Amino acid sequence: MKKFIHVERCDSTQELLKEQLALQDHCGDLTISCGHQLKGFGRGSNTWTDSPGTVCFSMTLEPHIKVTFTALEISLLISRFFSLKGKDIKVKWPNDLINFQGKKCGGVIVQNSGNRYFAGAGLNLFQNDSRFGGIYEAEFAVDKKEWAKDLSHFITSHRYTDSEVLTGDWNSICFHLNHEVSIIDGNEETRGKFIGLGPYGEALIENSQGTHHIYNGSLKLI
């Protein structure tokens, strides 16, 4: 049975989850959420800004059968969760969620320690800072603990077992499918049309030089 811990504030639910797993090496599945996250982070050096409408949680989980699909799968499942509530949330390679205005409203990070995998998610249910997006247009009272519980339960209960089905579903709600994009990885930039996911969850970019398989980087529309 999955254990659930909610704290009023912490630096990072992802780091707190790691600490709990280190203290309780025998423990089973665990989800941790918080009311206020002070030092949230994403891929690379990206940070995550907390707000009154932000839900942050981290959870242990089994990786997807193809490990490199795990973050894509979790992003997709979060989008499906909100689709049941009438919200059209798109996915952006490799791990972002995009709202009805085309703004980032959430993100996912997957890490591992040995054979233990854990996913962290930050979601703006609403957002008053115009630089960022919200899933809902208007502010409302948020029970962050219950939202995190519902989301983590949905993710656990709806995992994909078939990578091809996952790929098809992900492509169907991709924000930038068949659009011209730029992917920057360090000093390398690849430009071209995003035509979908490759066999390992990589971005497939088509340009005059052929089809490129891009495994890491930051994507933007051009």
Residues 105 and 206 in one domain: no
* pLDDT tens column, 23-37: 866 567 899 999 999
The confidence score (pLDDT) of residue 130 equals 85
Residues 94 and 188 in one domain: no
At residue 49, does pLDDT exceed 70? no
User: Which CATH number do you get for residue 191?
Assistant: 2.30.30.100
CB burial string 4-42: b at 16+ within 10 A, e below: bebeeebebbbbbbbebbeeeeeeeebbbbbbebeebbb
% of the chain residues with pLDDT over 90: 82
Q: pTM here?
A: 0.93
Residue ranges of E strands in the chain: 3-10, 30-37, 40-41, 47-48, 54-61, 90-92, 96-98, 104-113, 116-124, 180-185, 188-197, 203-207, 210-214, 218-221
The residue type of 121 is: A
Range of the domain at 216: 180-221
At residue 50, does pLDDT exceed 70? yes
The confidence score (pLDDT) of residue 41 equals 57
Residues 53 and 84 in one domain: yes
Cα(78)–Cα(88) distance, rounded to whole angstroms? Answer: 11
Per mean pLDDT, which range of 8-17, 166-175, 209-218 is the poorest? 8-17
Residues 65 and 39 in one domain: yes
Provide the number of structural domains found in the chain: 2
